[in-house]
Amino acid sequence: MQKNAYSKRMNRYDDVLTGSRWWSHIYMKYLWRTDDNAIAREVLAMIPDDFRGKILDVPIGTAVFTAEKFSRLTDTEIVGLDYSDEMLAIAGKRAATMQLRNLRLEQGDVGKLPYPDESFDCILSMSGFQAFPDKPKAFAETFRVLKQGGLFCGC
């Protein structure tokens, strides 16, 4: 029952975040007084299109904000990690449709990242930290796997 309810909510996830439907646009603009599309563009602009290296996107969610940017980062290895198999399935479909060959999707917990210290040149975290149950642990793990002098982009 709970999984069914989650699936129904998840079907509206991208619509709400991007304001792509008339009702979600009103919801985001007038109730939350925010434009996640503008925020996403601003955060993603921190990563230059000629970036080379390794990026961890945690949580990747459905990749609704990041897939287009990732399509331009052809010389970059990207790992998209999420706790939710359902979100990863949608991200996988989006990646396949866009032919994102540089994106590897993995299921995992930000509180126990399965990567060695200083593995990534950039950590991207959009609309995720508020959902992590143990925020101090999530931040500690995230910065553990970020290379010294690496780039953290988040909102």
Q: How many domains does the chain have?
A: 1
Please tell me the predicted confidence (pLDDT) of residue 26: 57
Residue 28 lies in a domain: no
Residue 118 lies in a domain: yes
pTM of the predicted structure, to 2 decimals: 0.77
Among 46, 36, 93, which Cα is nearest to 69's?
46
* Domain assignment of residue 126, given as a range: 44-154
For the segment 99-121, what is each residue's pLDDT rounded down to a tens digit?
A: 999 999 999 999 999 999 999 99
Residue 8 lies in a domain: no
User: In b/e form, how buried is each residue of 110-122, taking b as 16+ CB within 10 angstroms?
Assistant: bbebebeeebbbb
Please tell me the predicted confidence (pLDDT) of residue 30: 53
Please tell me the predicted confidence (pLDDT) of residue 112: 95
Please tell me the predicted confidence (pLDDT) of residue 1: 40
Residue 26 lies in a domain: no
Please tell me the predicted confidence (pLDDT) of residue 10: 47
Residue 30 lies in a domain: no
Residue ranges in the chain modelled with pLDDT below 70: 1-39
Residue 133 lies in a domain: yes
Identify the CATH number of the domain in which residue 82 sits: 3.40.50.150
Residue 124 lies in a domain: yes
Rounded CA separation 134/15 (Å):
27
Residue 55 lies in a domain: yes
